[in-house]
Structure formats: C-alpha cells, structure tokens
Amino acid sequence: MGTWPRIKELTIQLPIDDKENIDFPFIEERVRELEEERVRELEAYLQEAGFEDCNLTKEEENALRNIKRGMISSKLVQIDELFDIATGRDIIIGRTLKGAIPLISHQHDNNGISKRIERITNRRLFNHETTLPLADSGVFLATTQSEDFHIGTRVKALTFKNGKQNENVRLFFVASINKLQVLFLDYLTNATDNLPNLTISVPIKENGTVDYSFMETYISAIKKQCIARLKQEIDIERKAYNKVLDTQHQESIGTKPPMIDYAIDDDPQILKAAEDFEYYQWNHADQYIIDFFGDNKTILLGCYKDKKHMKWIQEQGIYNIRLGKRKGSISGKSALFERTSHLVLYNVDHPNQQMVYDIVSCCEMSGQQLKELGYPTQKPGKTYMTFKLSSSTLDTTQLNKLRLIERITEEHTEHEKGTPVFLEP
C-alpha cells in the first residue's frame, strides 16, 4: 500500500557531477535528446503512413461544413441491424502462449489489447476489416484493429452484415458506438443483454440507406486536421529544441526549422487582395495584443486565397509585395521591411484561420524569377520584395483569441479586405 511513511523511504537513482551534486544539466540535455528522437520517429511514421499532404479535398471540406451546419440527414439504427454479434468464450489469459495475434479483453488502454498470443486453433480468429471488438463488462469500449484478432472472455465481436469496411468507415462506427459509454458508467454494469437493441446515429442517403461514403470522407477530413495540428506542434518542438542546443553548444544542431517564403499574389483573379497596403501604429490595438508579439515589434498581416495558392507557398516558399511605381506598389520603405519581425498569415475568407511566422530577412526578386518558380499569376510585376520566414515559437493556439484581423476591420473602416497591413510601434 502506498502510504506516506513508506513512500518517503523510497529512493530513486539520479546522475551526479564531479562534485557529487545532482547533474541537472545532464538531465535536461538527455531529456531533450529523447524528445528529439521521438520527434524524428514521429516524422518518419507520418511520411511512411502517407500523411505528408494534409490539404482537404473539396468533398472533405463540404463534409465538415455540412456536419457543422446540421445539414446531414441521419437516423437511429439498432446494433443488430448492422452487425452480427458474437461473444467470446472463457479464456485464461495467463495460460495463453506469447505470440503475434492481438487478444482483446475488457480494458481501455492499448486499444483494448491485453496480450499478443499464439493462434488458438479452437477459437475464431476475427477479420479486422469486417469486425469491431467491443468490451462491455466493466468498461464499454469499441475499437478497430489493424490486424486479425482473438477476443477474450465475454468480449463482443460485431461483424458487419455487409462485409468488409475500410478503416475510416470502421472508425466512424467506433466513435458512434462509444457515444453509448454514458449509459454504462457503473463498473458493475454491462451491455450484454441490451446490446442488440442499443441504437446509434448514422448518416443516410436520400433513399434512406446508410451513407458509408460520407463516413469515409468525414473521417478522412478529421484525420487530416489532427495530423496538421500534430505537424505544427512538431515544428514548434523542433524550433525550441534547436534553439536551446544552439545557445548551449554554439554548433550545428542538425535539421533546422523549416524555412518558408510566402507571397501575396498581385493578380485579382488569383488572389482577392486589394491593390494597396496599409500600416497603423500599435496604439490602435489592445495591450494584450501588443504583449503577444512583444513591445517595439513591427508585424505584417498577409492573406492567402485558397489551397492552390497555399500549395504554391508551401512548395516554393515566397511571400512578396510589389515594388515599383504602379498602383498598389510599395516603394521607399526598405527600413519598414527590415524591421518587420513577424508575419501573420490568414485565410482571406476565414480570418480566424491564422498562422504566425518569424521574419528572418528580406530581399528583392524579379517577376521573372517568380514566374520561373511557378508563381500563380500570368502577368507578374517587375520587382518584388520577398520575406524569408521560419517557424515561430509564439503560441499559435492563442492567436485566434486576439481577433487581430477583426480588430483591424473594426478600428479602420477604410480597410479593404485582403489588403496587406503593417503594424508598427
């Protein structure tokens, strides 16, 4: 029993320095090394799993939008209308032999897998593409597996009556079934008797049949959103890790944070941005917005139009503003460019979709240079100012709360949608 008198007598092993003091610098460096190792492993997994492209398709965008607006038709369906239900016979886990086949039991962790065992010849091996395991005694948890599996004592196996389903469809059903967990919060209760009559909500087509295609599209969109947020966190972790090592060791630290150049297109048919730019002083903003970026910081607010434009940004990495004498150009502002420290990049039609980057440097590029890079406009200008960016350590989760773009619109009624804006001290 973990009582305090016993706990305070326990000892732990820690590294020490030459003076036999706890070596905190070693501990910090070792933890950072482990964190970096995990990040590399995660990046390798995402690449191998095909999650390099997280841009939503039109169908995925529509699925998310329609769900949010309540525009998807659905109906309640009993479990036994969708699945054939089997119950696992008694098994003593401790007497099974270690192997490669997942054994699903009544537990929440490890995706329901209690042990990997050798195949049991007198028990059914369930196809993971056709069957969902469901623990319903002590816990209530449906899962989907990536390989065929055995089920433990009184664990349910829900086999689709219409055959194999892909992972996205299976995940949709898992989420729908697990919404029933609120009915079985008591550890002593189980769903064994009630399971066939329990109902879940499923999307339907115009003819009233279950819409499996929508399930697949919707879950695909959710996956991409989750992975995109994960990649952003990886960038933040990598930036922080490299910054600490660079400070402590003053040496090469391997992979640098991704460098991005971003461009605002000047063709009204490509990007719905105004033909001019604006700049205001920070005294038009609340103090908490100033504090977010830091005192005496000049920032640039720039927008992107759509996935095509954003794709070009990601592939070529150029953010540009026109130079010259034609309408909408920015000239005689080299000092302004050089002291601009951050870019806030936002969706021109959805200003609350924002990202922030540190501006590393700026330089001029010709329209011909941009055109050779596939710049998405048929008539590029003569000269542009480009901004080189790196991932920012600012907390982007707080960015939307600042309502920065909305504040510009509210405070300056003359502001035109999509117009680049500089904010100065």
Which carries the bigger pLDDT value, residue 16 or residue 5? 16
Contact 196, 78 (CB under 8 A): yes
List residues bridging with 132 in a β-sheet: 158
As a whole number of angstroms, the distance between CA 135 and CA 118 comes to: 21
Q: Look at residue 327 and give its three-state secondary structure.
A: coil
Asked if pLDDT for residue 328 goes beyond 50, the answer is no
pLDDT for res 17: 86
Asked if pLDDT for residue 285 goes beyond 70, the answer is no
Mean pLDDT within 39-56: 77
Contact 336, 293 (CB under 8 A): no
Which carries the bigger pLDDT value, residue 394 or residue 170? 170
Q: How sure is the predictor about 180, in pLDDT bands with cuts at 50, 70 and 90?
A: confident
Q: How sure is the predictor about 332, in pLDDT bands with cuts at 50, 70 and 90?
A: low
Name which of 89, 115, 86 is nearest 102 in CA terms: 115
What is the H or E stretch that residue 150 is in? Answer: strand 150-151
List residues bridging with 150 in a β-sheet: 103
From the number of C-beta atoms within 10 Å of its C-beta (0-12, 13-18, 19+), residue 188 rates as exposed
DSSP string, 329-353: ---S-HHHHHHEEEEEEEESS-TT-
As a whole number of angstroms, the distance between CA 93 and CA 114 comes to: 8
Summarize pLDDT for 81-102 with one digit per residue, the tens.
999 999 999 988 888 999 999 9
Summarize pLDDT for 243-252 with one digit per residue, the tens.
665 555 454 3
Contact 303, 418 (CB under 8 A): yes
Which carries the bigger pLDDT value, residue 9 or residue 276? 9
pTM of the model as a whole: 0.52
Asked if pLDDT for residue 111 goes beyond 70, the answer is yes
Question: How remote is the C-alpha of 76 from its chain's centroid?
Answer: 31
Q: Look at residue 364 and give its three-state secondary structure.
A: strand
Share of the chain above pLDDT 90, in %: 28
pLDDT for res 62: 93
| C-beta atoms surrounding 210 within 10 Å | 18
As a whole number of angstroms, the distance between CA 200 and CA 215 comes to: 14
The edge-to-edge listing of strands for the beta sheet with 150-151 is: 113-117, 98-104, 150-151
Asked if pLDDT for residue 44 goes beyond 50, the answer is yes
Q: Token digits for 304?
A: 């992107």
Contact 388, 256 (CB under 8 A): no
Summarize pLDDT for 214-273 with one digit per residue, the tens.
999 999 999 988 888 887 877 777 676 666 655 554 543 333 334 333 333 333 333 333
Task: Look at the block and give the residue holding tokens 């117009």.
Answer: 419
